[in-house]
Structure 1
Amino acid sequence: MTDTLATLERTDGGGLIRFERTFPNAIDDVWSALTDPDRLADWWPPFATNVHVDLREGGTMSFDWPDGPQLEFRFLRISPPALLEHTHTSAGSWMRYELDATDGGTRLRATYFVPEPDSSIERGDVVGGHYGFDRLEAALAGHPVPFDLDVFTALQARYADHGLAASVE
């Protein structure tokens, strides 16, 4: 799990939340973890859900929670295995994953555009993104981990110290 925190760049239209990770895995393996429904289920959603992926521009990725709402994102740009971009939960938001092969594996740069940065901070988007990428790292290592509220809360406290999360009460 990384100690590097996400950054937030405020823009005229909202904000760009950026994450960067380096994995020892080949780029095709990381791409698969970002696009294969079975592998997405290992790290993306915080709770058990069914994941569906129609991997084409205009296609969708959806998460069906047994006791909750369906989340659906539309793919905006796809260029395997280097670029994946889709809409996100808030109206006007999007997520972009950029992958680069390195000598030791793959560098992932993820950018999450949000129209209202303060609402995203309050909602926990920054912490959720970071924790999701921690879980992706574990899944890529062959050891997926379930959502752990204690770990999430500790991470939330670290981000709150930097003004990128609501304070932990």
Structure 2
Amino acid sequence: MKCQNCGEREARINITQIVNNQKKEVHLCHQCAQQGGYSDPVFGLHKLLTGLVDWEPQAPASRTCPQCGLTEQGFRQTGRLGCEQCYKTWEPLVETILGRIHGRLEHTGKVPKSAGEHVRRSRKIQELKAQLEQAVREEQFETAARLRDEIRALQQTKEGAEDGN
């Protein structure tokens, strides 16, 4: 593989950077890597490990709920939110915690019998919508049309059931 910088010499150094969950790979020859500061002979395993040991996570910025005044520290200590605005204020934090505890953010457990049909229908609609998006991405338009019609039929029966309650 040729160097992505000069295009002349053989690429011997592969650099992978991950920024904002975006992976970028660069393949450079030794000379271009040195010019870019990537091939520092002083940088070795010792320096890498020292950097890991010296690393300290930065304290999170102190936030406060604008409605009830609950601080992030208060939330972390009690594990309880003070009002509905807290859910919006700390949404990413709450989602992270729930994801760690439950493994996912959607409820997939038992449903009361009285709400069972409604929930099953809603889940089926969501599943069909995901399949519809996939079919459109893959340009399977006949399948997409069939899925669209199925979704509409389920939505109509869902609306009819809600009107009856």
TM-score range (shorter-chain normalised) is: under 0.3
Larger Rg, first or second structure (1 or 2): 2
Normalised TM-score (structure 2): 0.26
Higher relative strand content: 1
Identify which of structures 1 and 2 has the higher relative contact order when contacts are C-alpha pairs closer than 8 Å and 6+ apart.
Answer: 1
Higher relative helix content: 2
